[in-house]
Chain A
Amino acid sequence: NAGVTQTPKFQVLKTGQSMTLQCAQDMNHEYMSWYRQDPGMGLRLIHYSVGAGITDQGEVPNGYNVSRSTTEDFPLRLLSAAPSQTSVYFCASSYSQYQETQYFGPGTRLLVL
């Protein structure tokens, strides 16, 4: 049982480049979400999904895109990277949208130059 996995662990992008952050979970959780964590700020929700085929915006969705074609996977796409998107990104999953016992992945550190 691997829990929540994320790839890559670290990525450097140039402004304007696009990329996809991968997230997978093997706990059969319906609810998955993406957060970003910046120094001096709390975790902020980017996008979330309550099940395959259903996604919605969180607090800070601009510049990001998501899709959920399977229960297991929830990739996050940066459409055109900007320096303001330099951050640590965490994927999380839980049994339901009520988020009791939410499990987080190890994170992806992204640097946009």
Chain B
Amino acid sequence: EDQVTQSPEALRLQEGESSSLNCSYTVSGLRGLFWYRQDPGKGPEFLFTLYSAGEEKEKERLKATLTKKESFLHITAPKPEDSATYLCAVQASASGGSYIPTFGRGTSLIVHP
């Protein structure tokens, strides 16, 4: 059974204080790992897809990295508008033709001005 564990559950940062969010996973053959941002009362917003260990992707103050067991979302010099819940999901290589993703519970990030 595929599993995704995100840590910490909640994180409070001061504006400009860089940090990282963790997504640990177990999956029988990783096809893709996804990061989403979710603002309160809204649907998740896609950020990144990572496919293989060593891959990195960047968007503004966010950088996602991937190893064989975990992914990190690094936030550099965060601003209050980066406050949101960040979700991680994994998708296993096709089993019976389905690509059902497994989501973690998310990390709630609050950035104080």
Contact = CB atoms under 8 A, between A and B. Distances in A.
> A and B: partners?
yes
Interface of A: 4, 40-45, 48, 56, 58-59, 90, 92, 97-107
A101 B44 contact: no
Contacts of A92: 43
B76 interface: no
Contacts of A100: 32, 49
Interface residues of B, dominant DSSP: strand
A41 B100 contact: no
Given A58-B100, A100-B32, 13 more contacts: A42-B87, A43-B87, A43-B103, A45-B101, A48-B100, A56-B98, A90-B43, A92-B43, A98-B31, A99-B32, A100-B49, A104-B46, A105-B43
Interface residues of A, dominant DSSP: loop
A102 B100 contact: no
Interface residues of B, number: 24
Contacts of B46: 101-104
Contacts of B41: 107
A42 B100 contact: no
B41 to A, nearest CB: 8
A90 B42 CA distance: 9
Residue among B36, B43, B104 having the largest count of chain A Cβ atoms under 10 Å = B43
A51 to B, nearest CB: 13
B78 interface: no
7 contacts: A42-B103, A43-B44, A44-B103, A98-B31, A102-B46, A106-B42, A107-B43
